[in-house]
Amino acid sequence: MAAVASFPQINDIDSMSFNNVDKLTYEIFSILENNFLFGCDDSNQKLHVVAQPSLAANAFKSGKHNSGKVRILSIDGGGSTDGILAAKSLTYLEDFLRRKSGKPDARIADYFDVVAGSGAGGILAALLFTKGKDGYPLFTADGALNFLIKNRREIFRSSDGGIFRRVFRPAKVEKLFRKTFGECTLKDTLKSVLIPCYDLSTRAPFLFSRADAHEMDGYDFKIRDICIATSAEPTVSGAVQMSSVDKRTKIAAVDGGIAMNNPTAAAITHVLNNKQEFPFCNSVEDLLVVSLGNGESDFSAVNLTSSPASFTRIAGEGASDVVDQAVSMAFGPHRTTNYIRIQGNGIVGGLEKGKRGQKMKRINILEKADEMLTQKNIEAVLFKGKKMIENTNLEKLEVFAGEVIKEEERRKSSILPTVLLKQTAFPSPRTSSASATTLSTISSC
């Protein structure tokens, strides 16, 4: 009888424990489902599980105590335009920022706190956010566009021109980037910089991060090496053997598009988890994000059986769309104000055949980029494809520039810092980088 009498008591305890766990699990997955699959339209829906230390500061986030929004610029890998569409978008964005701020010499780097770029986007990020000897960015947006137009064939057309060109191409590219960036390293960037590549030695993505460089010397790399790594041809023979400035970290790098063609999610993750540099940023409500695509390729015109690189491009562009859709849904009701994606909604090729059908010549890709920017913008819906909206890409860029300027003006009267970028190295383990999951030898908190 005693055994029978005690059984319901144990069962009650187990049931109570199960119900609590089940309730917590249901709440977690409900929030994730709403945020990432269908968008969260309930602004009051919050998950009360673990109190974050920084949340206590939310009581002060009003008026002069409002910590504001972290501004993120994300730039895709090559696409069909080898970075020209994104570069052209940046020239318009910089022009909008200059006109709205009344500062004719304003630069992109003045109005963004974080930049993430992959492949061609990584090169653009380096050009726009590396500090020159005068303390200003090395390039304006227009200068970066001209740099890509002038050198795109050297940087991205590694498979053209036969074996002679492939053999001498690495030396030419290294010389180009050495001349451009000199001895500058990640520590010489003006804002938080994130540039991915794929490390063949560990078979995992590797994220070059300014935060990592300031925390540990073993993760400070020369900018010229980073640009070569993120744009390297995705083959074993094309792997770039490189090391950090102090030679402690070594990787065999290939194209950043393999790791993350669209680095937006990595940038958001970096900011939300980096409480040392972004102490008051707790959710997507605290972000302003612009993601720049680089056009869609015409895969129907490609002989996939004889072009392995085409499969890499398909995977990269497909992954970019998935990231865009997931991020868009994660912003929920804020996706129309806090997040925009610029991408051509049609297929635009950058090359056309000459009269003899063998020699390729470049058409006016700038006109094609302008054409894509005047197209109506497309909005991603996870698992449901894309839909076209009334605003053009340029119109959305101009509106976003206005939001960025508002945030800049707000900071002038706020007593709470939005960003606290590291300026010196720390002896403690890394605690800020989104790349912590990449390197198993380093722990993060």
At residue 202, φ and ψ (nearest 5 deg) are -105, -5
Residue-wise pLDDT tens digits, 138-172:
999 999 999 999 998 888 765 444 444 444 567 88
Cα(334)–Cα(327) distance, integer angstroms: 11
User: Residue 239 corresponds to which tokens in the numbers above?
Assistant: 């792997």
Cα(349)–Cα(362) distance, integer angstroms: 10
**Burial environment of residue 23 by CB neighbours within 10 A (0 to 12, 13 to 18, 19 or more):** exposed
User: Residue 45 corresponds to which tokens in the numbers above?
Assistant: 């829906």
Half-sphere exposure of 202 toward its Cβ, with a 13 Å CA cutoff?
Answer: 17
Strands 70-75 and 114-117: parallel
Cα(397)–Cα(352) distance, integer angstroms: 30
User: Residue 187 corresponds to which tokens in the numbers above?
Assistant: 């520590």
Closest listed residue to residue 140, CA positions, set 116, 182, 106: 106
Residue tagged active-site, from 74, 89, 118, 291: 118
Q: Does domain 70-197+257-299+326-346+363-413 fall into CATH 3.10.20.740?
A: no
Cα(342)–Cα(378) distance, integer angstroms: 8
Report field, pTM of the whole predicted structure over 0.85: no
Residue-wise pLDDT tens digits, 90-126:
999 999 999 999 999 999 999 999 999 999 999 999 9
- Annotated catalytic residue 118: yes
Cα(337)–Cα(396) distance, integer angstroms: 10
pLDDT tens track of the chain, all 445 residues?
A: 444 444 344 344 444 444 454 555 555 555 554 554 444 444 444 443 333 444 444 444 554 557 789 999 999 987 667 889 999 999 999 999 999 999 999 999 999 999 999 999 999 999 999 999 999 999 999 999 999 999 988 887 654 444 444 445 678 899 999 999 999 999 999 999 999 999 998 988 999 999 999 999 999 999 999 999 998 876 645 688 999 999 999 999 988 778 888 999 999 999 999 999 999 999 999 999 999 988 765 544 444 444 555 556 666 666 777 888 889 888 888 888 899 999 876 544 444 444 433 333 445 778 888 888 888 877 766 566 667 777 899 999 999 999 999 999 999 998 888 999 887 544 444 444 444 434 333 333 3
Rg of the chain over CA atoms, in angstroms? Answer: 24
User: Residue 139 corresponds to which tokens in the numbers above?
Assistant: 């390039």
Cα(417)–Cα(46) distance, integer angstroms: 25
Closest listed residue to residue 339, CA positions, set 404, 433, 436, 272: 404
